[in-house]
């Protein structure tokens, strides 16, 4: 759907377990970091959407597959994109990798329902839908490279 948005993080000591490996609980937090930065790159923040439109993105499902360990001081890249966007829900997918040795560390996804402050499911405001799909909208309006407008 959209291109990947990349966010760099560095593993902190507190994020590791006794074996020096990143504890599994941190990956969902890093997914949230990637998701928040993805939205900022598209021109808005969660807080703005909540306050201006009374639209909250509630996590309904999460999934993470651990592929390789990460360690203290590793510099990692969280790659985030929107995989699916419906009127009342959206799905983000993630990859976390270590660029220095091109190792995929983890991959996953989160499904979000859009609700109001009372947790009643509602539609995603059109303005935010457009921002989330900005690249796709531009692609749909562009003319193919080998064709002129008619």
DSSP string, the chain: -PPPEEEEEE--GGGB-TTSBBPTTHHHHHHHHHHHHHHHHTT--HHHHHHHH--EEEEEEEEEEE-S--BTT-EEEEEEEEEEE-SSEEEEEEEEEETTTTEEEEEEEEEEEEE-TT--B-PPPHHHHHHHTHHHHHHHHSPPTT----
Question: Is the Cβ–Cβ distance between 105 and 11 less than 8 Å?
Answer: no
Question: Is the Cβ–Cβ distance between 9 and 30 less than 8 Å?
Answer: yes
**Ranges in the chain, pLDDT < 70:** 1-2, 135-150
Domain ranges for the chain? 5-133
Task: Tell me the CATH number for domain 5-133.
Answer: 3.10.129.10
Confidence at residue 4, expressed as pLDDT on a 0 to 100 scale:
94
Structure tokens at 122: 């509602």
User: Looking at the chain, how many residues does it have?
Assistant: 150
Confidence at residue 134, expressed as pLDDT on a 0 to 100 scale:
81
Confidence at residue 72, expressed as pLDDT on a 0 to 100 scale:
96
- C-alpha–C-alpha distance, residues 42 and 104, integer Å: 25
Catalytic-role residue among 3, 17, 116, 139: 17
> pTM of this prediction?
0.86
3 catalytic per annotation: no
Confidence at residue 138, expressed as pLDDT on a 0 to 100 scale:
36
Average pLDDT, the chain: 90
- C-alpha–C-alpha distance, residues 18 and 5, integer Å: 32
Contacts of 135 (CB under 8 A, 6+ apart): 2, 3
Confidence at residue 90, expressed as pLDDT on a 0 to 100 scale:
97
């Amino acid at each position: 759907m959209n291109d990947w948005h990349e966010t760099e993080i560095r593993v902190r000591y507190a994020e590791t377990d006794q074996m020096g490996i990143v504890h599994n609980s941190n990956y969902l937090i890093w997914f949230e970091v990637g998701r928040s930065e993805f939205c900022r790159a598209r021109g808005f923040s969660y807080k703005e959407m909540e306050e201006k439109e009374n639209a909250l993105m509630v996590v309904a499902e999460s999934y993470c597959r651990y592929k390789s360990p990460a360690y203290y001081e590793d510099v990692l890249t969280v790659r985030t994109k929107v995989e699916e966007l419906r009127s009342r829900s959206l799905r983000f997918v993630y990859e976390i990798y270590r660029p220095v040795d091109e190792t995929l560390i983890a991959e996953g996804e989160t499904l979000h329902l859009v609700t109001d402050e009372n947790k009643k499911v509602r539609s995603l405001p059109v303005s935010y839908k457009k921002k989330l799909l900005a690249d796709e909208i531009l692609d749909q309006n562009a003319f193919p490279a080998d064709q002129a407008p008619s």
